[in-house]
Amino acid sequence: MNTEILPYNLHNIKKAADILKNGGIVGMPTETVYGLAANALNEAAVCDIFKAKGRPQDNPLIVHISRIEMLNDLVTEIPDVARTLAAEFWPGPLTMIFPRSDRIPDVTSGGLDTVAIRMPASEAARALIDESGCPVAAPSANLSGSPSPTTAQHVFSDMNGRIPLIIDGGACSCGVESTVICFREGHIHILRPGSITAEMLSQYADVEIDKGVCAKPSDTEKVLSPGMKYKHYSPKANVLIVDEHGADFTEYCTSHAVGKTIALGIGVSTQGIFVDYGITPELQAQRLFSLLRESDEMGADTVFVEMPSTDGIGLAVYNRLLRAAGFEVVGNDKADR
Ligand code: TXA
Ligand code: MG
């Protein structure tokens, strides 16, 4: 199968929608990362998403909607706080988990009795959902385990030959996946941090951050979100988080370089092994996955990344980095921590 990349316009959205209506899969831009889209209610199409990504069957997909009325059919209960959050943050990078209705096939929700729903801010994504006339299941459009795609070209490099079409909506503005939350005893529980931050959510209810966000889950522990168990976002190179800043960071990277090394620093000047990955958490979020992919293209053996701040969207950057690094944090005074 040849994989076509076509720019976002109404004509190409109709073409993509026809593929979805016929049970196929397309690459879809969103404001967070690119998704691999199929009709969420079509079991066979959803199975094909799992095959194209090489994704474990027990890891459920997010169902994307374009209008709030679509929610009623897909879930059996909508807490008041969810209605408030939908009014405030949809369309946008917030995914909420609800008890699922029997319209959602088992395969879409990974066999769980809940379903994750989000209304993307991306105009292209909502046009595709509208045009195809169905809720759209879409995981990030990377091969399972590799960094999420933030451009159509990234999708092409993972999915070439596996899907017929990618709609090119340009580079994603957020660069990290949506915030995933569930509701527990009146609390908002953050399962995956993103651009809608704990601070923003705490205006509407008490917020709890799942301990799996910053810690390695043990093999025996039951996780609330299956995605937490799996290796994620990893380029081929060995990624290490360096808990040093300024001159200590550059000194650590220079003296510990192994093989071809790239060091992503915060506001460093880009020269030698050093590459600036952004002075603000927003820029770091936009660039992180792209830089991890570029490191692979450059044949890097080792990628050092300066420890980001965990404030605001920084928590999302840190959460993705911890997984990319297999939770390995290093620094001058500690051999391994
Ligand atoms: O920004 C995003 O959310 C992107 C774009 C394409 O919309 N999508 C995305 O999907 O990141 P994916 O499949 O790569 O990540 C979905 C995460 C997984 O960690 C999954 O385990 C979790 O959401 N999830 C999905 N349904 C769930 C459920 N019912 N309960 C708990 N976690 C769920
Ligand atoms: Mg993903």
In a domain, 193, yes or no: yes
pTM: 0.96
Residues 97 and 197 in one domain: yes
- Check pocket membership of 226 for ligand 1, CB cut-off 6 A: yes
Nearest to 265 by CA among 254, 328, 316, 154: 254
Per-residue pLDDT tens over the stretch 227-239? 777 767 788 899 9
Residues 33 and 168 in one domain: yes
Indicate if the alpha-carbon torsion angle 318, 334, 210, 187 is positive or negative.
Answer: negative
Residues 49 and 112 in one domain: yes
- Give the containing element (helix H, strand E) for 83: helix 80-89
pLDDT bucket at 281, cuts 50 / 70 / 90: very high
- The reported pLDDT for the residue numbered 271 is 94
SS (H, E, C) 184-245: ECCEEEEEECCCCCHHHHCCCCCEEECHHHCCCCCCCCCCCCHHHHCCCCCCCCEEEEECCC
Per-residue pLDDT tens over the stretch 68-127? 999 999 999 999 999 999 999 999 999 999 999 999 999 999 999 999 999 999 999 999
Residue 275 has pLDDT above 60, yes or no: yes
Closest-lying ligand 1 atom to the alpha carbon of residue 114:
29
Mean of pLDDT values over 293-320: 96
- Smallest-distance ligand from the CA of 138: 1
- Check pocket membership of 49 for ligand 1, CB cut-off 6 A: no
- Check pocket membership of 115 for ligand 1, CB cut-off 6 A: yes
Residues 179 and 259 in one domain: no
In a domain, 161, yes or no: yes
Supply the residue whose CA is at minimum distance from atom 18 of ligand 1.
Answer: 227
The total domain count for the chain is 2
- The reported pLDDT for the residue numbered 185 is 87
- From CA 94, how far away is CA 81, in angstroms rounded? 13
Domain with residue 183: its CATH number is 3.90.870.10
- The reported pLDDT for the residue numbered 67 is 98
What counts of helices (H) and strands (E) characterise the chain?
A: 10, 16
- The reported pLDDT for the residue numbered 105 is 97
How many Cβ atoms from other residues are within 10 Å of residue 216's Cβ? 12
What is the Å distance from ligand 2's center to 147 Cα? 8
Per-residue pLDDT tens over the stretch 26-64? 999 999 999 999 999 999 999 999 999 999 999 999 999
What is the Å distance from ligand 1's center to 61 Cα? 5
Residues 84 and 203 in one domain: yes
Residues 242 and 207 in one domain: no
- The reported pLDDT for the residue numbered 266 is 97
Residues 302 and 198 in one domain: no
What is the Å distance from ligand 1's center to 182 Cα? 12
Domain encompassing residue 35: 4-213
What is the Å distance from ligand 1's center to 34 Cα? 13
- Smallest-distance ligand from the CA of 100: 1
